[in-house]
Amino acid sequence: MKYLLIVAIVSNIENVPPFVEIEDFDSKAECEAAAGIYTRTITEPFSGLQKVSCQPLIKPTN
C-alpha cells in the first residue's frame, strides 16, 4: 500500500508564504522515516504551525 507524506508549515511572520509538500512512499516505514527528517529540519525557534503526517493512499471504489 502506498502512503502519502503531507507536510504543511505556516509561519506567523508577515509575507512568508505557507509551505506544503506531498510525497508518496511504498511503505509506512519509508513515509515515517521521511516524516522524521522533515520534523528535524526545523531547529530554529519557530513561530507558526507545523503539521507532518503519513496517510494511507486509498484507491476510490466505484
Mean pLDDT of 21-47: 87
Give me the residues paired with residue 7 across strands.
Answer: 21, 52
Q: Could you tell me the pLDDT band of residue 29, with boundaries at 50, 70 and 90?
A: very high
Q: Could you tell me the pLDDT band of residue 28, with boundaries at 50, 70 and 90?
A: very high
* Average pLDDT for the chain: 87
SS (H, E, C) the chain: CCEEEEEEEEECCCCCCCEEEEEEECCHHHHHHHHHHHHHHCCCCCCEEEEEEEEECCCCCC
Q: What is the pTM of this model?
A: 0.75
Write the pLDDT tens digit of every residue in 43-59. Answer: 666 678 888 999 999 87
